[in-house]
Chains A and B, each alone.
Chain A
Amino acid sequence: MEKMGVPAIPMCTIAYKELADLTAARDGMPHLREIFTPHPVGGKTSAELAAYLVDPDPVSGIQIMKEIVEDLTRPLSADEMKSGTQSIQAGPAIYGPATPDNLQELFMTNGMTDYLPIVIPTEEKVEAMLKGTSHNPDEVLRTPLQGVGYTSARWGYTVRQVAVNAVMAGCRPEYFPVVLAMASVGSLGLFGSTTSSGSAIVINGPIRDKLDMNYGLGALSPFAHSNATIGRSWTLMGKNLTNAGILGDTYQGSQGNQLDYNNCVIAEDEKNSPWAPLHVQFGYKAKENMLSLFGGPDIRQGAGARGAGAEPAMFDQQISYMCESMVGGSGALAILDPLVAKRLVEQGYDSKEKLAEFVYKNTTRTVKDFKESFLAPFHLYPLALQAREPYASWYKLPDDTVIPFFPSAKQINFVVCGGQANAFFQIANMNHVRSESIDKWM
């Protein structure tokens, strides 16, 4: 609004002062006249919030309403009228020479690791990693842009910069096309909202076997070098390439998310799945190597089938039951052992689409429950204001109307992996973000 010539006062609680200052500076107005209230605002009564307004701003000490009037009428200072380009020195291009131990300490102390030992990214190792792709090391995957993104500063990166992080994660050069496909998604690891979301990465195509990815026993646990290091690189790329993960600044996750350590890499067991692989469902050819990114709050155990001892076991109903406790607005990714997939086919689900349709129709709640659910007031209601469906229609319905839990069956996805030791599944409360070609980065 200030850029449009309209004096504007941004208000936030004192808990976010540092983030507010940094965002204003990155947006090009370091002297923006911010006003802060005590924290929190949520959960306070009308009387308490009225009192906030006549109490002092915890930063300036000036009564808040008086400060608002002053900030909207006080003439601009010389600093506030400045325009032009601000030059800030870039950080070092290299570190050292130093011993490997000292470099480990340096990288960790400077927030460039996940606090596990890294592979030191020497020039030699980076050059070796770059041989894993035919792309030019100086090719730009993302252009740095001011005023874009979660904290108003979209960092950019090249193929070479991605290679450095891939080395640090312990990736081998043959994994590099997968890492580049991940980097080409744009938004990388360590999503910074207070909700502490995590990521899952599904890999499809022949590359799974080429890289010895594990999609059998212990598929989601640390039993394959490729699964482990590819997942780790997502977090390191987030920290280093996009400046994510700076506590109190680009990372506000109140509790964090354990998925951030390795980001749940899932190679689909295409051979033992009775259905089409995930990437084929998304419209790609079976022989294409694809990566699909999912993001959302968590992954949880599916806890078997509904109706213990029932014949046939009601896995469809159990999946629907597990979805009822999810965060609405995020989708579902069910990760099924091949035994569960086979049982579902016995139940009549000869395609993932049929199963998704069942879960969509049978997972429901009232409009009242929807309105009162987490995310609805501040994420889904604003979408309704933009006339986005189905939210716009749902908000017009009576409170006791029963509506689907998910806005669409397309938000419900399935992937098959596991060692067939038992008929178990896990389910991620996650949306499909994007799919990217790995072949493009060979």
Chain B
Amino acid sequence: MNRRALLSLFGIGSGLLLETRVTEAKNKNSVNRVAASEPKVTAVSPKGTRPPIRLYAMAPRVNSLDGKTVYLVDATHFDGSETLLMQMQAWFQQNMPSVKTVFRKKAGAYAADDPTLWAEIKTNAYATVMAIGH
């Protein structure tokens, strides 16, 4: 993860680390603006409170997909999602015929859960691929 993304996770723009450089640049280049007698003030941060992050262990893997069921889920309904997953299903049929694939479209808006589908996957499948958007 790059530095900008890491700072974004904290809710801090990468410019925070420029504060010292900004101050130094202004002192060098704008002596009139930053007069010795200009009062200094303290500002309260306007930022909200970020949620705590709890880490979760990922699901354990088996060492082969042979004989397993994999659900291919169109999670977004965006243009191309279904077609891509149909091609994926065709690939499994040609290259790994022992893998059973089941295609499903998630119900609800793209950020919404589909508890019925999740329960079906948990009951019937070893794994799932979810795609894709745009």
B and A form one assembly: yes
B102 within 8 A of A: no
Give B1-34 interface residues, CB cut-off 8 Å to A.
Answer: 1, 5, 8-13, 15-16, 18-19, 22-23, 26, 33-34
Which range contains the number of A residues in contact with the other chain? 35 or more
Complex contact B125–A236 (CB within 8 A): no
Give A136-170 interface residues, CB cut-off 8 Å to B.
Answer: 142, 144-146, 148, 150, 153-158, 161, 164-165, 168
Give B77-128 interface residues, CB cut-off 8 Å to A.
Answer: 77-81, 83-84, 86-88, 90-91, 95-96, 105-112, 118, 121-122, 125-128
Interface of A, secondary structure class, is: mixed
Task: List the B side residues contacting A246 at CB < 8 Å.
Answer: 8, 13
CB-based nearest A residue for B77:
A378
Complex contact B56–A41 (CB within 8 A): no
Count of CB-CB pairs between chains A and B under 8 Å: 330
Complex contact A381–B77 (CB within 8 A): yes
Bound complex: CA of A246 vs CA of B11, how far in Å? 9
Task: List the B side residues contacting A68 at CB < 8 Å.
Answer: 88, 129
CB-based nearest A residue for B63:
A73
> With A12-B132, A22-B9, A379-B109 as given contacts, are A82 and B55 in contact (CB-CB < 8 Å)?
yes
| Contact with B129, one of A9, A21, A106 (Cβ below 8 angstroms) | A9
> With A7-B61, A21-B5, A102-B22 as given contacts, are A91 and B10 in contact (CB-CB < 8 Å)?
yes
| Contact with A11, one of B10, B18, B34, B130 (Cβ below 8 angstroms) | B130
Mask for A9-45, Cβ within 8 A of B = 1, else 0?
1111101101001100111111111000101111110
Which range contains the number of B residues in contact with the other chain? 35 or more
Complex contact A122–B53 (CB within 8 A): no
Bound complex: CA of A246 vs CA of B7, how far in Å? 11
Bound complex: CA of A52 vs CA of B86, how far in Å? 13
Task: List the A side residues contacting B78 at CB < 8 Å.
Answer: 41-42, 377-378
Complex contact A28–B43 (CB within 8 A): no
A350 within 8 A of B: no
CB distance from B36 to the nearest CB of A (A): 11
| Contact with A382, one of B38, B46, B106, B125 (Cβ below 8 angstroms) | B106
B interface residues (Cβ-Cβ under 8 A, vs A): 1, 5, 8-13, 15-16, 18-19, 22-23, 26, 33-34, 38-65, 70, 76-81, 83-84, 86-88, 90-91, 95-96, 105-112, 118, 121-122, 125-134
A-B contact pairs, 27 of them (CB 8 A): A3-B56, A6-B121, A30-B1, A31-B58, A37-B132, A41-B81, A44-B80, A52-B84, A53-B91, A54-B91, A65-B88, A65-B91, A72-B127, A84-B54, A85-B54, A86-B54, A90-B50, A106-B16, A109-B18, A112-B13, A155-B50, A194-B134, A241-B47, A243-B47, A249-B8, A378-B76, A385-B105
Inter-chain pairs besides A46-B83, A100-B41, A109-B19, 16 sampled, C-beta below 8 Å: A1-B128, A6-B121, A52-B84, A53-B91, A84-B54, A91-B45, A94-B45, A95-B43, A97-B40, A97-B41, A99-B40, A161-B46, A168-B46, A236-B46, A378-B77, A378-B79
